[in-house]
Amino acid sequence: MDELAFRAALEGLPIGRTALLETIGSTNDLAAEWAGQVAPDFSLILADEQTKGRGRAGRRWLTPRGSALAFSLLLDPAALPQAEPGLVTGLGAVAAAEALETLFGLQPEIKWPNDVLLGGRKVCGVLAEAHWAGAELQAIILGIGMNVAPSSVPPPEALALPATCVEAETGQPCDRPMLLRGILESLLRWRPRLGQPAFVAAWEERLAYRGQAVALVSGAEELHGRLLGLAPDGQLRLEDDARAVRQVPAGEIRLRPKLTGK
Ligand code: BTN
């Protein structure tokens, strides 16, 4: 991304320290280093390419040069109403979804806890990680990766879920700095309301597979049931096959829709 366009996209926003990098291993890793140096709240690292991009559960996240948005924000726990990585994951997903709606009129859905989908295909992933110094929570690092150009979409054999990109969905070239600004503005709007009913409602109303049969996979365990919605703390509410309502924290869980009849 062009330095001038990057600066213009951040104009007037309360951003801490910033870095715009051509290439890096993972922006979340550099943000963790910054957290150790006590960088200010809402510090931002954006990279045009990641060579060791990470997703949830140790999965790889591909960011070929210039094709995507890949950035990490360092959030000071003192600036969060609730310093909960699960809620911060939701914050990232809601902000990414809202920017796609506002800027392009798209209708994204959130596959709990961290994927943003367009037409059932993944366009964006969120990785929130807590950074501790001993017993003290120093920062929550919010990493967001969005596929923008077709070259950012990984080959199907590398994917658990089909993927798409912004340009394929809009049919137009996408201005990445403008999209970055849209996501940051939405994050700043929702952050003070993290965990409040309005925030959970904004997350819940975009949830994919609501009312549908789903399977939650955690290691070798699978929980099957109907997806009801979210609890006030962002946990998933599920009616299991015995009609009991279960609440599931994000943890290392994967959600997938169940095919009817299976
Ligand atoms: C997922 O879908 O599992 C989450 C993907 C998160 C990717 C972003 S890109 C910026 C930041 N740096 C990383 O290494 N990962 C996150």
Residue 181 — very low, low, confident or very high, per pLDDT cuts 50/70/90? very high
Q: Which residue has the higher pLDDT, 257 or 52?
A: 52
Q: How far apart are CA 131 and CA 67, in angstroms?
A: 28
| CA 245 / ligand 1 centre spacing (Å) | 31
Give percent of the chain above pLDDT 70: 97
Count Cβ atoms within 10 A of the Cβ of residue 17 and give its class: 0-12 exposed, 13-18 middle, 19 or more buried.
middle
Could you read off the pLDDT of 70-110 as tens digits, one per residue? 999 999 999 999 888 899 999 999 999 999 999 999 999 99
Closest CA to 260 of 213, 211, 207, 225: 213
Check pocket membership of 127 for ligand 1, CB cut-off 6 A.
yes
Displacement of CA 193 from its chain's centroid (Å)? 17
Structural tokens at position 247? 């609440």
What single-letter DSSP state applies at residue 94?
A: H
DSSP conformation letters of 168-196 = HHHSS---HHHHHHHHHHHHHHHGGGTTS
Pairing of strands 18-21, 43-47: parallel
Determine the pLDDT at residue 38. 81
The amino acid sitting at 12 is: G
| CA 229 / ligand 1 centre spacing (Å) | 25
Domain ranges in the chain are: 3-204, 213-257
Take atom 9 of ligand 1 and give the residue whose Cα is closest.
145
Domain 213-257: give its CATH code. 2.30.30.100
**pTM of the full structure:** 0.95
Determine the pLDDT at residue 241. 85
Take atom 3 of ligand 1 and give the residue whose Cα is closest.
55
- Only one residue has tokens 């955690």, namely 218
- Please check whether residue 181 is in contact with residue 192, taking contact to mean a CB–CB distance below 8 angstroms: no
Q: Which residue has the higher pLDDT, 226 or 154?
A: 226
Determine the pLDDT at residue 123. 98
| CA 43 / ligand 1 centre spacing (Å) | 17
- Please check whether residue 141 is in contact with residue 129, taking contact to mean a CB–CB distance below 8 angstroms: yes
Over residues 122-143, the mean pLDDT reads: 94
Domain 3-204: give its CATH code. 3.30.930.10
Check pocket membership of 50 for ligand 1, CB cut-off 6 A.
yes
Determine the pLDDT at residue 262. 41
Determine the pLDDT at residue 258. 75
The strand order across the sheet containing 136-147 reads 18-21, 43-47, 68-75, 136-147, 121-133, 115-118, 109-111
